[in-house]
């Protein structure tokens, strides 16, 4: 096999990527439908079975010798070209590591939450549901000029100028907003916001605006400043602390001071420490909380 793929037959590679065993069934599943959700796989997906029967979430004791940690920014393979692991695999690994909770935050949708919730329940893992929303209107919401859509007029203009050449790029333009649902009401509002965004755009190009999201969230979401494509980190990198502060205050004005959290992550990049120091200083200056994530992709 060429094209830098591993040295294995296409059949074996497809089974590995689909999460199926050599007999065509999902691990632990008695069904031949591969554990899939679609009609091509059958009318009912089989119940989740942990790949290791004794994988359960350990009790966190004060003498356990580890710092309690919940991962709040994690993509499954439902975030195409960004996430690599099935939701079930993420739940099992989080339980094995003893995480306090895990949030699955796929791009512009709640595609994997049912499978994630079932697996998390089976291994006793507390769950958080969220999404990383892309602002704009090119593929996965990115605008051609990288400008954030702040109104319906902005969104329609970006949709008109979006280039066909940008529709299938792996890292499209557009700023990200990480949203975590606060309870059932927050989940319902997030599902509504995502549905409205997809209905407003075309397939593969949902349309979201900060104003609409703030109206829909209405105190029922936690908003993290996000990854390198979040408004605050992007402004910090491009224009410095003053610009980042303006973007941070914009989020505070829209979503509320008690709902905005500054996200810090460290992937070992030489610039990570300086960026985290600057973000932490901004958070302290504006009396906002910080949270550490791994910004998990693949």
Taking the mean position of all CA atoms in its chain, how far away is CA 88? 15
Each residue's pLDDT tens digit, 159-175: 544 444 455 555 667 89
Instruction: Indicate the pTM of the whole model.
Output: 0.77
Each residue's pLDDT tens digit, 202-229: 888 899 999 999 999 989 999 999 999 9
Query: If you average pLDDT over residues 129-151, what whole number do you get?
Result: 65
pLDDT band at 9 (very low <50, low <70, confident <90, very high): confident
Number of C-alpha atoms within 13 angstroms, CB side, residue 267?
A: 8
Retrieve residue 226's tokens: 């996000």
pLDDT score of 63 more than 80: no
Quote the pLDDT of residue 224: 99
Distance (Å, whole) CA 101 – CA 41? 31
Please determine, looking at this structure, whether the domain spanning 69-292 carries the CATH number 3.20.20.140: yes
Q: Which residue has the higher pLDDT, 248 or 82?
A: 248
Please, which residues have CB within 8 angstroms of residue 97's CB and are 6 or more apart in sequence? Answer: none
Quote the pLDDT of residue 8: 78
Question: Nearest CA to 283 among 235, 254, 244, 253?
Answer: 244
pLDDT band at 117 (very low <50, low <70, confident <90, very high): very high
Task: Name the 3-class secondary structure at 181.
Answer: strand
């Amino acid at each position: 096999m060429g094209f830098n793929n591993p040295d294995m037959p296409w059949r074996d590679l497809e089974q590995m990527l689909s999460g199926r065993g050599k007999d065509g069934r999902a691990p632990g599943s008695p069904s031949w439908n591969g554990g899939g959700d679609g009609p091509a796989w059958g009318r009912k997906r089989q119940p989740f079975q942990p790949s290791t029967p004794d994988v359960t979430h350990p009790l966190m004791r004060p003498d356990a010798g580890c710092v309690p940690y919940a991962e709040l920014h994690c993509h499954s393979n439902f975030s195409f070209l960004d996430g690599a692991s099935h939701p079930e695999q993420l739940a099992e690994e989080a339980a094995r590591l003893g995480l306090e909770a895990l949030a699955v935050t796929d791009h512009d949708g709640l595609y994997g939450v049912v499978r994630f919730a079932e697996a998390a329940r089976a291994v006793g893992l507390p769950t958080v549901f969220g999404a990383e929303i892309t602002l704009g209107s090119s593929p996965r919401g990115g605008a051609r000029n990288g400008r954030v859509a702040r109104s319906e007029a902005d969104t329609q203009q970006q949709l008109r100028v979006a280039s066909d050449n940008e529709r299938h790029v792996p890292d499209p333009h557009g700023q990200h907003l990480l949203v975590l649902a606060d309870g059932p009401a927050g989940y319902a509002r997030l599902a509504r916001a995502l549905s409205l965004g997809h209905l407003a755009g075309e397939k593969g190009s949902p349309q979201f605006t900060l104003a609409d999201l703030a109206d829909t969230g209405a105190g029922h979401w936690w908003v993290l400043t996000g990854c390198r494509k979040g408004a605050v980190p992007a402004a910090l990198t491009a224009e410095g602390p003053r610009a980042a502060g303006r973007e941070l205050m914009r989020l505070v004005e829209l979503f509320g001071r008690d709902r905005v959290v500054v996200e810090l992550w460290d992937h070992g990049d030489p610039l990570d420490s300086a960026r985290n120091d600057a973000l932490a200083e901004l958070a302290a200056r504006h009396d906002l909380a910080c949270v550490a994530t791994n910004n998990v992709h693949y």
